[in-house]
Amino acid sequence: MFATATDPTWNAIAFVIALLAGATLSVAGFGVGTILTPVLALVMDVKLAIAAAAIPHFIACAARFWTLRSFLRRSIMFHFGVLSVVGCAVGAFMHVSADDVLLKYIFGVLLIFSGVGGLTGLNARLHLGKPSAWIAGGLSGMFGGLVGNQGGIRAAALLPFDMPKEQFVATATALALIVDIVRFPIYVALQKERLFEIAPVIVSLTIGCMIGTALGDKAFRALTPTKFRHAVSILIIVLGATVLMAAGIKGGGAQTHKLYSSASTKHDSAL
């Protein structure tokens, strides 16, 4: 555990991870928020980490979308995006009273199932249309609001539409930008002073993401449609497995705390 966000070693490691995050975004259309938020959370509270990660996320997504803007599937973006925003709001309200560990288990299993579907070709055989875009958008937004991470579940929901890789990434980044435009001003308004305090870190991570995005584009262009689908599917499976592991650690910790509290209560009663 590093002491602060100004630790030189942490900054060097975080910059390298930002390169990876940018490259992942370039190839799969998600990854910056998913990768950077837990890294930032090592040296600051989670709320500030989410707000700080949103800045390189927005800039990297905007840059990636701009390079592929001509491939945007506007129909999917509209139908998927509208319900995604609504679903996100519903999920955020549900999050207040939901079991966090259970949600992460469900989220992890859904991601793995979707990733396996992408690897086996099941998603490509579904041939989803406009009604499915509304449903997929609403569900991905709801689960994103519930667990606080939309990138992976959005990519998982977009996979069955079997778009060419350029359309997939262009549409995924456009949808990410819609969410960012909604949430970004709120983050800045609520945590402006704290964000200014860690501005050098944010600038460094943003530069890392931008370089990573440029490097990832070379790998992206070399991918065949099948390899692209497999690459995205594998990243989704890895994310799902990570979520399940985190849920297991958190659930185990909560159970240990519960047992310890129960034992302490019995001990106190005996005394």
Task: Give me the pLDDT at residue 105, please.
Answer: 80
pLDDT of 229 > 60? The answer is yes
More confident residue, 186 or 195: 195
pLDDT of 175 > 80? The answer is yes
pLDDT of 115 > 50? The answer is yes
Q: Which two tokens stand for residue 90?
A: 């519903």
Q: Which residue in the block uniquely carries the two structure tokens 């890789």?
A: 165
Q: Which string of DSSP letters, residue by residue, matches 95-159?
A: HTTS-HHHHHHHHHHHHHHHHHHHHHTTGGGT---HHHHHHHHHHHHHHHHHHT--HHHHHHHHG
Range among 79-93, 99-113, 137-151, 220-234 rated most confident: 220-234
* 77 C-beta neighbours (distance < 10 Å), count: 20
pLDDT in tens, 130-171: 566 677 777 777 776 666 567 777 887 787 777 899 999 999
More confident residue, 31 or 137: 31
Q: Which two tokens stand for residue 122?
A: 């099941």
* 137 C-beta neighbours (distance < 10 Å), count: 27
Task: Give me the pLDDT at residue 255, please.
Answer: 53
Average pLDDT over residues 27-48: 83
Residue 48: pLDDT band (50, 70, 90) is confident
Task: Give me the pLDDT at residue 15, please.
Answer: 93
Are residues 25 and 32 in contact, defined by beta-carbon separation less than 8 angstroms? yes
Task: Give me the pLDDT at residue 1, please.
Answer: 47
Task: Give me the pLDDT at residue 92, please.
Answer: 65
Average pLDDT over residues 229-250: 81
Average pLDDT over residues 86-104: 69
pLDDT of 174 > 50? The answer is yes
Q: pTM of the prediction?
A: 0.76
Are residues 17 and 2 in contact, defined by beta-carbon separation less than 8 angstroms? no
Task: Give me the pLDDT at residue 267, please.
Answer: 47
Residue 241: pLDDT band (50, 70, 90) is confident
pLDDT of 122 > 60? The answer is yes
Query: What is the torsional sign of CA 37, 151, 178, 64?
Result: positive
Task: Tell me the C-alpha to C-alpha distance, in Å, between residue 253 and each of 2, 154, 257, 267.
Answer: 22, 29, 6, 21
